[in-house]
Each structure stands twice: as C-alpha cells, then as structure tokens.
Structure 1
Amino acid sequence: MVIVFALVAVAVLAVVAALHWYVWRRLVRDTTRAGGTARRAGTAVFLAGPALMTAALVAERSGAPFWLQRTLAWPGFLWMPLALYLLLAVLAGEAVRPLLHRALRRRDRAGGDRVGEDSGEESPAPPRRSPVGPPLGPPGRVADGRPPETRGTKPPGTPTLAAEGRPTAPAAPAAPAGNPAPTRRLVVSRIVAGAAATAAVAAVGHGTYGVLRGPRVKRVTVPLTRLPRAAHGFRIAVVSDIHLGPILGRDFAQRVVDTVNATQPDLIAVVGDLVDGSVKDLGPAAAPLARLSARHGAYFVTGNHEYFSGAEQWVAQVRTLGLRPLENARTELPYFDLAGVNDLQGESEGRGPDFDKALAGRDAARACVLLAHQPVQIHEAVRHGVDLQLSGHTHGGQLWPGSIVAAAANPTVAGLDRYGDTQLYVTRGAGAWGPPTRVGAPSDVTVIELAATRA
C-alpha cells in the first residue's frame, strides 16, 4: 500500500512539474532574452511558487507551529489558483497565437507594398554615363588640380568603377550596434503572455476579495408537505465551510456572524467544516460564534475537516460557545423535528453517521429537517423519510472548473434538488479551503424559508 501511495505521489508531482514547466516556457522563456534579469526573475517565481505551495500544505496537515502555517499560507495557497488560471489562460492563448501571427504577417506585407507607392514624389532619374577617365583641366593638371605625376591614382573616397563603367557609391559607415528589433514570434509571445498573466491575476484578485469581504445572503423557499401552517415562513440560516485557519481568522468569523444575525433567523444550522486546525490554535478565532443569535438557537454537525483537526475537542468547544452539537441525534422543535448526523470521515474514528440512532422512533406525521455535511448522505436520508436535508462540503466547486470535479463526486453541487420525497439543499459555504479564493462559486449564507403546503 505504501508503494502504491508513493508511486501515485510521484506521478502527481511529475504532472504538476510538467505543467509548471509548460507555463514557465510560455510566460518566461518565450518572452525574455537568455541571461536577462526578466528571465532570472520569472524563473525564480516559478521555482518559489510550487515550493511554497507544497510547504503550506505540509505545514497545515502536519500540525506545524501555527506561526509557520500563517507565514506559508498566504503565498503558498494563493499560488494554487494563480497557477491554475495561468495554465488555463496560456492554453486559451494557444488558439489565439496563430491568429496573431497571421494578422502581424498581413500588416508587415501591407506595409512593405506601400513603400515607394503614392508618395507624391518622382523617382530619381538614372545616372548619366560618364566618359572613362578623369576630365581634363588646364595643361599639366587634371580637373581636380592634381599634378600629372599623381595621374592614375585615386584620392581617398573616390567611387570605384563598376564593370560597365558606372561609378558605385562608397560604402556607408556601419550603424552602431544595439538591441535587435523583436521578431514577430517574440511580439506574439509577449502579447499572449501579457494577456494571460493579466487575466489570471484579475481572476484571483477578484475571487480573493469576494471571500475576504464575507459571504452574501441567499434566500430560498422550500415547501414541505408535512409542515404545519403555523410554521409557514420559518427561517433557517444555513452556514457551512467557514474554514477558520491560518488565513481566515477571528475577523472573518465576526463577519460571518454579523451576516447571519442580520437575517434575523428563527434557527441557525452550522453544517460542518468550521475549522482547519486545533482548538489551541483557533479557539480565539472561533470565539465570535458565541454571538450567533436565533429564537430557536444554533445547531452544529461535524464536517470532514473537524476530524482532521480533532472532532472531539471541537464538539466540546462549540458547546461552550452556545451551539448545540447534533451527534447522530434529534431534537423536537415546536413544528418539526431537527436531526443531525456525523460526517462520513468520522468512520475512521468509529464515530461515523448513524441514521437509525438519529431518526428511529420519531413521529412520522411530523416534518423532519436533517443536517448532514456531505450531499452524498442524501440516499440514507431518503430511505429514512427525511423531508429536507441541509448540506455543504462542495464549496460549489470553489475554483472553476472545480464544479465539474465536484459534480462527479456529489449528487448536487449547489442549490436545491429533489430525490424522491426528500429535498436536498447544498450551500456553497461561507469561507474557502486552502486559497482564500473563489471563482465562479461565490460564498454564501443561505436563509431557507420553510413553506407549508397544507391549509
């Protein structure tokens, strides 16, 4: 097993290295002169970027000192989306490159055809043939005043005679050496590389700003057949994937809390992946969660990242913050049942999801809302007669085209879907894992408004 893991790791590293080389070649080697400062600087960036990215990942997963994680996180994690979008932009540039070559070739040809045409000037007349030999002057002298003894010699700078007897102009002095004009290939490479770099930096910059400013509020109405009329309009604020860690800290947690409280929900559901780190390192960052406010309280279920960070200690910590953990448990609210199951990752610790424990013995006439971190748990929810499952986990793909990968592993990537008699809502999450960047999958806090369908 270890050998297989090592071979897979080597293969992945080889692919990553090859892709970095390709992007370096297009952005650096093809646009700079060998030995120049620009090439050395560009090469240094493409060596440092993947090295910092690897170091940041290893530091987070190995539990390195938190100060070291924070030092490596910003440059290391931001290199991930930057490298991705540089690659995509360079690949797109391959389609543009031949078109630019063709356009520049046509421009150059058109410029050459115009030389000497329609200039408004007459072409100079051809030179008249002169008799062979120097013209005669006064006796004893040639026309240039030289004495007879110098006749037959040529003063410096005198044009030589061509074979047909015409004089040729003296050679022009050599132009001083300088930087040669860039070739058409170099011009095209620089245009494509500049556009690719600009697009990638703009995408990452905008996506990072979108995360750091905090999530936006989405509102979704979900009709439930078994919901009583008295519960019509009941609002649940769904928060997932906050991912407090070396980048997103206490200030970000406060922005999320302020966003949730501003919706004035009846109930708050935190559906996993709250943190990426230990209580020791991130306890202060999570402290603002104590200010979450809802009439029927705030509830919490674990996500897969809690088990990477120490699920037991975090369950105890959120309880001290005023959130109620639902560990394969159910509570009866005035109008419906609210249940929660552990994340699938808990199976590695013998604390996986237990739907029978959470849902067995309940009144089947009452509506049931289930909190489960991963959308893939919907199939068990359907089997147990759940009306609505609230999930996160996917981040909506986080970085396009990550949604394609997420769709391959999850029944629903984002939004509301129906599976039999059970509805599933998946939020894109409030934060971001790894790079604090989202492209094509904006962060959100979703307010689910329950609607009764019976009179």
Structure 2
Amino acid sequence: MLPITKRKKRLICAGVLAAAVVGLAAGLDSRLTVPHYRLESEKLSGSVRVALITDLHCCNYGPGQRDLLDAVAAEAPDLVLLGGDIVDDDPSLPVEDAYTVVRALAEQYPTYYVTGNHEFWSGRVEKIRENMADCGAVVLAGNWEDVALNGQKLRICGVDDPAVGAAAWTEQLAEVGAAADGSRFTILVTHRPERVEEYIRYGFDLTVAGHAHGGQWRVPGLINGLLAPNQGLFPKYAGGRYDLGKQVMVVSRGLARESTRIPRLFNRPELVVLDLTSGEDG
C-alpha cells in the first residue's frame, strides 16, 4: 500500500470538513416545507382541502408574514385549522406576528383555533382567545361547529390544551366526543398528540395536533424525532400521519424557528395540507 502523503491528508481533511459543513447547513435549513396527506372517507362525496398550522410561537415569516401567508394561498385551502401555540408566552416575542397571520387567514378562509400550553403559560389565555375571535377565528374549547364546503358536510371539534385543568379537559373531550356520532366527517383539533389513547375512544375520523415540534432533531429514514415535550426521548408521535384503525391522526412539526432554544436539525418547519376525499376523484 502506498503511503498517504501530507498533501493527500490535507485534501482528505478538507473534503471531510466540507462535507460536514454542507451536512450541517442542510440540517439547519429552516425554510418552510409543505407536506401533503390524502385521507379517503365514505362519508365524503367530494373533496375538501385543509391547511393545518401549529406552533407558530410568534415567529417571523418575512415582512407582513408573507412567506407563510403566500404558502397557504398557493395551496388554496377550503379551511384552516390552528392547532395551538400560535402565540408564545415569551413577552419579548412580537405577538402581532401571530395575529397578523390569523387575521389574514380568517379574512380568506373559515378558520378554527384551539389553545396550546404556551398560551396558558402566558397568563393571558382569556385575552388571547378574545384576540383570536377579534381576528375572525372561531375559538373552539369543548365545542364544535358544522360547516359545508364544496357540498361536503364536516363537523369541526376542538378542545383546549390540558393546561386548562384535568377535569375541565376531560369534560371538554367528552362533550366533543359525543358530537362524533358518525353523521358526518368529524375532525378533532387538539394541541397534544400524546393523548391519542383518549382520543381514539371516540369516533373522530381525523385528529390533528402539534406540540411535538417534530422531535426537534431528526435523522431522516432512521429517527423521526429525538425529544418531544410530554413524550420524552424518541417520541412516537413526533410528526406525520398515524393510522389508528378506522381513525387517522396527523401531527404537524410546527412552525417554531427563532423561538426555540435548541435549533431544529433536519426538521424543517411545516405547513401541513390535508386533502379529504371520497377516493372517487382520482
């Protein structure tokens, strides 16, 4: 075997360093991504497109929040669901960035909101709910609303974050669970994915959640998430689609960027798009 010269060693080291820099840059990529999920149901005769937004945490998406708002507009949803932690509890973060998004969305689409834990931690949850309603969003907290979109009948149910209190949260879930009576396609909007065993006791066709931030660090193809609140290491419900018998849960990896103490790694923030369909439209 020929000896490795100093020049070759330097070239090898430079190559390894360059690869590491490129890999780190890819891992820290915080550009918005838009995953799509398709769900078929015999309760539908046509299609409805839903945009799911969670865990914005007052983060900045360009002047006037146009990066996020333009991404939503490009998907042309029929309905927008806000799955909690749109507002953060850190008073140093610009709360108007959150309300700018909600106001603009509610002007264009039916928009539904539930609280997250950070909104409770802020100590201003009642004011936040009031502000969301003033922006045009429908605030769901143990209640539901029936909507008709593209000739399809949907029931949108929502519960507060469990920070509302154990008894109140259980009561809210039971209230909306009773509304999942099979008469129409029913969606549960909630912040916490880890409570899935409680959700599947009821007849929701689709549950949407956030909170896990995608497990913060990922290794695509190997580790879906490293650490998530209330799930710990290697969370089962870090982000993505989970088929639960006749029910489906979709967990968004959320939109938090500069608000997180630890940067996201191979875990780009996301706007989730769900196409609900009869399955007969191709």
Measured against the shorter chain, the TM-score band is: 0.7 to 0.9
Give deviations 1:15-44, integer Å, cap 9, x for gaps.
Answer: xxxxxxxxxxxxxxxxxxxxxxxxxxxxxx
Does residue 41 of structure 2 align to residue 224 of structure 1?
Answer: yes
2:161 to 343, 347, 355: 343
Once the two structures are superposed, the pairs formed by residues 107-186 of structure 1 within 5 Å of their partners are: 107=4
Which structure shows the bigger proportion of residues in strand conformation? 2
In the TM superposition, residue 218 of structure 1 has moved relative to its aligned partner by 2.2
Match of 2:212 in 1: 394
AA matched with 1:340: G
Does residue 91 of structure 2 align to residue 292 of structure 1?
Answer: no
Distance 1:363 1:254, change over 3 A: same
Once the two structures are superposed, the pairs formed by residues 409-420 of structure 1 within 5 Å of their partners are: 410-420=235-245
Q: What root-mean-square deviation, in Å, do the aligned CA atoms of Structure 1 and Structure 2 show? A: 3.5
In the TM superposition, residue 239 of structure 1 has moved relative to its aligned partner by 0.9
Could you state the TM-score of these two structures normalised by the residue count of structure 2?
Answer: 0.78
Does residue 253 of structure 2 align to residue 428 of structure 1?
Answer: yes
Alpha-carbon distance in structure 2 between the residues aligned to 1:293 and 1:312: 19
Alpha-carbon distance in structure 1 between the residues aligned to 2:199 and 2:84: 17
Does residue 191 of structure 2 align to residue 365 of structure 1?
Answer: no
Once the two structures are superposed, the pairs formed by residues 67-106 of structure 1 within 5 Å of their partners are: 106=3
Alpha-carbon distance in structure 2 between the residues aligned to 1:454 and 1:374: 32
The answer to whether the 8 A contact 2:216-2:226 is kept is no
Instruction: Spell out structure 1 runs of 4+ moving beyond 6 A.
Output: 194-197
In the TM superposition, residue 392 of structure 1 has moved relative to its aligned partner by 1.5
Give deviations 1:227-272, integer Å, cap 9, x for gaps.
Answer: 231xx21011011121225xx3773733212211222111001111
Match of 2:227 in 1: 405
AA matched with 2:145: T
Greater gyration radius? 1
Alignment length (residue pairs):
265
Alpha-carbon distance in structure 2 between the residues aligned to 1:440 and 1:249: 19
Once the two structures are superposed, the pairs formed by residues 7-86 of structure 1 within 5 Å of their partners are: none
The secondary structure found in structure 2 opposite 1:333 is: strand
State the identity as a percent: 25
Which structure shows the bigger proportion of residues in helix conformation? 1
Q: Please, which runs of 5 or more residues in structure 1 have no aligned partner? A: 1-102, 109-183
In the TM superposition, residue 424 of structure 1 has moved relative to its aligned partner by 0.7
Q: Please, which runs of 5 or more residues in structure 2 have no aligned partner? A: none
Distance 1:379 1:363, change over 3 A: same
Alpha-carbon distance in structure 2 between the residues aligned to 1:228 and 1:242: 31
In the TM superposition, residue 307 of structure 1 has moved relative to its aligned partner by 2.1
Alpha-carbon distance in structure 1 between the residues aligned to 2:238 and 2:90: 28
The answer to whether the 8 A contact 1:375-1:411 is kept is no
The secondary structure found in structure 2 opposite 1:221 is: strand
The answer to whether the 8 A contact 1:250-1:286 is kept is no
The secondary structure found in structure 2 opposite 1:430 is: coil
1:301 to 96, 114, 124: 114
Distance 1:295 1:235, change over 3 A: farther
Match of 2:264 in 1: 438
Could you state the TM-score of these two structures normalised by the residue count of structure 1?
Answer: 0.51
In the TM superposition, residue 276 of structure 1 has moved relative to its aligned partner by 2.4
In the TM superposition, residue 319 of structure 1 has moved relative to its aligned partner by 1.7
1:268 to 62, 71, 80: 80
Alpha-carbon distance in structure 2 between the residues aligned to 1:273 and 1:293: 17
Does residue 134 of structure 2 align to residue 320 of structure 1?
Answer: yes
The answer to whether the 8 A contact 1:244-1:253 is kept is no
Give deviations 1:152-211, integer Å, cap 9, x for gaps.
Answer: xxxxxxxxxxxxxxxxxxxxxxxxxxxxxxxx9xxx89x86x778766654454444x32
Larger relative contact order (CA 8 Å, sep ≥ 6): 2
